[in-house]
Structure 1
Amino acid sequence: MGNVVEAARRALGPAGVMLPVSFTGLPPAAAQREAAVRLSEAGWPAVWTNEVVGGKDALVQLAVLLAATERTVFGTAVANLWAREPQTLHAAAAQLAEAYPGRFVLGLGVGYPAQAEGTGRRFGSPLATVRDYRERMDAPTAPPAPEAAYPRLIAANGPKMLALAGELADGALPAGVPPEFTAEARRVLGPDKLLVVCLPDVTEETAAARVAAQRAAGADHVVLMLPRDGDFAEGAAKLVALHEVVEAGR
């Protein structure tokens, strides 16, 4: 088992949260920093963020939030490969990993055809696109990216992408899947890969049971997500309150 996977399992813990997601507006940086600090103080070991191609750079966002906190692990769920060149993504990720050792996890996804078209490119085969992108991430650059390791996960909601994640990455990051899928993902990946599962539309009543079911099925870490496009501050407060609920259910 690679050291990067072992270290990530320890750092991430059993569950984390996704910052409230909105496709209608981006909260001010000050509000995001305040939310990240509150979530850290509440006891959440990991906080994740999404990416909107052309509307928000997830790695820039996490650079701001990493600087505002001391221990919290931050991850992308997911960084969209259409948003930047593969070498640029690796360079940015490696710089975050160097600046904040053990506190950054890269989740990478192919997204949707409309996102590719929005950048003037053709979507093509998702498997071929992800394979090509992942292989080009480590291509030489001048200057070279920092030699800092960080976990690399591939968003995978199907058997072929799961197999590719097991081959080319440190693990997989499926979203909105039942425990049965998680159990199959663990079987495909084997014990030496990191399995992070995102759960959408979590409520206070369902959070603990859903986390327990996913963990029992083989997930290393579960990301709790609220319904999207709600008020950012109210969403952050709900996530703070969820920590006690999830802990009580363990």
Structure 2
Amino acid sequence: MNTTEIEAARKALGPVGVCLPVEFTTALDIGAQREAVRRLEAAGYGAVWTNEVIGGKDVLAQLAVLLAATERMVFGTSIANIWAREPQTAHGGAALLAQAYPGRIVLGLGVGYPEQAAGTGREFGRPLATMRDYVTRMDAPTWPPAPAAGYPRIIAANGPKMLALAGEVADGALPAGAPAEQTALARTSLGPDKLLVVGLSVVPDADAGRETARERVTEMLARPGTSAGLVRLGYSEEDVRDVSDRLVDALIAHGGPAAVAAKAREHLAAGADHVTVLLSPGTGFATGVDRLEQLAPALTEVTRLA
């Protein structure tokens, strides 16, 4: 996409959106999903993001239904797992949605994890090379050709190498679960003309929010490379070892609506174009939609003042 098209995507997304809550143990009724996105649209949100792992749900099919259920809402994938479909098929599906609903889709792509590749009978390989190859092959000629409709294509990227790749071969990046310092580095890496969407982990609990957030950070620190990345950003080894208040407060927006809105503003000030709210896993679909509605007045105020 050119700079003008990316600017149009920034405007369409707005500063703040939300991720549709997920269930991992039950299949969500599509009627409940339609009702949820209509409620979120009525609450003032302009963008909703949806996830994908491997099996059970096709995120592009899901978006087709949800786009039809709403009037103006923009939908993004956070992320479309590259092991779920061939690259030319991913492009064809996204282009078809972009043709049917111009300006209302953003395709976020993620390399996922080795076990997800293994689940499809393929080798994970080297993440950077795998992602480069996938994005390159998306535009390979097909018969019949894909619809001639453009859409933003961004890559899930927290580390410096994947961020650099996103700036080279895609329209932007989608880092998640990182502090505002990482958002600033991501903007520097991408430059001003790329789309930067940040996934903000949220525990909307005014009472036990920090302790619940600490549990979430402890889980995040178990991922390979997370601790080292935080130390590179200036957090001490003691912060990481003890899961300090400083670290918890930097990684997770916790507390009431005002606190969540303030954390979203931090990332926007650091260079994000759009911040999307990620509720803690296990929140539950119905409860999560209720909580997103409760956050809406504070978060949509961020959009109004941006």
| TM-score category (smaller protein) | over 0.9
| Cross-structure match for 1:102 | 103
5 Å-filtered alignment, 1:221-240, equals 221-240=274-293
Shift in Å at residue 248 of structure 1? 4.2
In structure 2, C-alpha distance between the alignment counterparts of 1:156 and 1:109, rounded to whole Å: 8
In structure 2, C-alpha distance between the alignment counterparts of 1:74 and 1:121, rounded to whole Å: 29
| Cross-structure match for 1:210 | 263
| Cross-structure match for 1:62 | 63
| Cross-structure match for 1:178 | 179
Mean CA deviation greater in 202-211 or 5-14: 202-211
Q: Is the 8 A contact 1:202 1:224 kept in 2?
A: no
Unpaired segments ≥5 residues, structure 1: none
| Cross-structure match for 1:132 | 133
The amino acid that maps onto 1:58 is V
Unpaired segments ≥5 residues, structure 2: 205-254
Residue-pair matches, total = 250
| Cross-structure match for 1:30 | 31
**Equivalent position to 1:220, from 273, 287, 292:** 273
In structure 2, C-alpha distance between the alignment counterparts of 1:2 and 1:22, rounded to whole Å: 37
| Cross-structure match for 1:162 | 163
| Cross-structure match for 1:87 | 88
Matched, 1:246 2:299: yes
5 Å-filtered alignment, 1:192-207, equals 192-203=193-204, 205=256, 206-207=259-260
Once the two structures are aligned, what percentage of the paired residues are identical?
Answer: 65
Shift in Å at residue 247 of structure 1? 3.4
The amino acid that maps onto 1:220 is D
5 Å-filtered alignment, 1:36-55, equals 36-55=37-56
The amino acid that maps onto 2:71 is E
Which protein is richer in helix relative to its size? 2
The amino acid that maps onto 1:170 is D
Q: Is the 8 A contact 2:76 2:106 kept in 1?
A: yes
Matched, 1:4 2:5: yes
Structure 1 outlier segments of 4+, above 6 Å: none
Q: Is the 8 A contact 2:45 2:300 kept in 1?
A: no
Instruction: Return the TM-score normalized by structure 2.
Output: 0.80
In structure 2, C-alpha distance between the alignment counterparts of 1:236 and 1:229, rounded to whole Å: 13
Shift in Å at residue 131 of structure 1? 0.3
The amino acid that maps onto 1:240 is E
